[in-house]
Structure 1
Amino acid sequence: MYDDQETVRKILTELGDTWAVVGLSGNRDRPAYGVAAVLQGFGKRVVPIHPKAETVHGEQGYPSLSAVPFAVDVVDVFVNSGLAGQVADEAVAAGARAVWFQLGVIDEAAYERTRAAGLDMVMDRCPAIEIPRLG
């Protein structure tokens, strides 16, 4: 339901190339760091969203989605499930076109709210795993 291949493909190929990665910092040991690099390799602009607002992979970071001064197409969420719903709500408020919850990040109520607001959404998947499958 919340990870169908058609929606995965649509988010990766049709909904825009500016991805806000929530939880992305300069910590190379965190999954977000590697996934962001894969997204860049696929032609995506990666916008780090983290309280530290670090520059990561050459892109200026911001402390929150609301602090980003330009449009974001997809919000990729690397925070735990307990915080993810709030991020999804912020993505809707920011005018994003889609929300992507990473592996292990599940909030069905947030999924329903986000879809009801007209955004595409995927949960419990990783774009770095899905991109090679597009072939």
Structure 2
Amino acid sequence: MNHDAYSDAYIAEQLGRVRTIAVVGASPNPARPSHGVARYLALHGFKVFAINPGQAGRDIASLPTYARLADVPEPIDMVDVFRAPEYLPKVVEEALALIPLPKLIWSQLGVRDDAAAARAEKAGVAVIMDRCPAIEIPRLRLARVDS
């Protein structure tokens, strides 16, 4: 996959397969983008789980918060990564240990690691990097009809 550019159709197709999202690096601070995006996704019909080891057991943006992806009590369709690029390989490793595998790993603006993406794709997991779903959803006029 060429991660320098994604077609609108590809982004829409991938988001259309998603129902549950784990936001890795979700912040309890309402001023942080990870907080706002987690809230946006939940308000737009996705079931969202916050992942933040220091906040596990508390709510972030009125969402249940877990320490690790493996702690989420149901299958995760999309892992949305709000961590610095050097942490993406570790998040991909954690995601690839899940059963079932997530359908999509999405890394936020400024977060890219082509080797980590290749590893996920080799395992059959789609990857979108350096994009924000809270920007792409309204830009593409996507709506959840089953929410």
TM-score category (smaller protein): over 0.9
Give the structure-2-normalised TM-score.
0.86
- CA-CA distance at 1:6 after TM superposition: 2.8
Give the structure-1-normalised TM-score.
0.93
Question: Which ranges of structure 2 fall in alignment gaps of 5 or more residues?
Answer: 142-147
Quick one: distance in 1 between partners of 2:116 and 2:13? 20
Quick one: distance in 1 between partners of 2:84 and 2:13? 24
The equivalent of 1:111 in structure 2 is 117
- CA-CA distance at 1:8 after TM superposition: 1.5
Q: Which has the larger radius of gyration?
A: 2
Quick one: distance in 2 between partners of 1:32 and 1:11? 20
Of 44, 48, 51 in structure 2, the residue corresponding to residue 49 of structure 1 is 51
Quick one: distance in 1 between partners of 2:53 and 2:24? 10
Question: Which ranges of structure 1 fall in alignment gaps of 5 or more residues?
Answer: none
Query: Which aligned runs of 4 or more in structure 1 are off by greater than 3 angstroms?
Result: none
Counterparts in 2 of 1:91-110, with a 5 A limit? 91-94=95-98, 95-110=101-116
Higher-RCO chain (CA-CA 8 Å, sequence separation at least 6): 1
- CA-CA distance at 1:41 after TM superposition: 2.2
**Which stretch shifts more, 49-58 or 64-73?**
49-58
What secondary structure sits across from 1:36 in the alignment? Answer: helix
Aligned length: 134
- CA-CA distance at 1:56 after TM superposition: 1.7
Cα RMSD between the aligned structures? 1.2
Of 66, 84, 99 in structure 2, the residue corresponding to residue 80 of structure 1 is 84
- CA-CA distance at 1:46 after TM superposition: 1.1
Quick one: distance in 2 between partners of 1:119 and 1:10? 14
Counterparts in 2 of 1:62-77, with a 5 A limit? 62-77=66-81
**Which stretch shifts more, 33-42 or 100-109?**
33-42
Instruction: Name the amino acid aligned to 1:125.
Output: R
Counterparts in 2 of 1:17-36, with a 5 A limit? 17-36=19-38
- CA-CA distance at 1:7 after TM superposition: 2.7
Q: Is contact 2:30–2:61 with CA below 8 Å preserved after alignment?
A: no
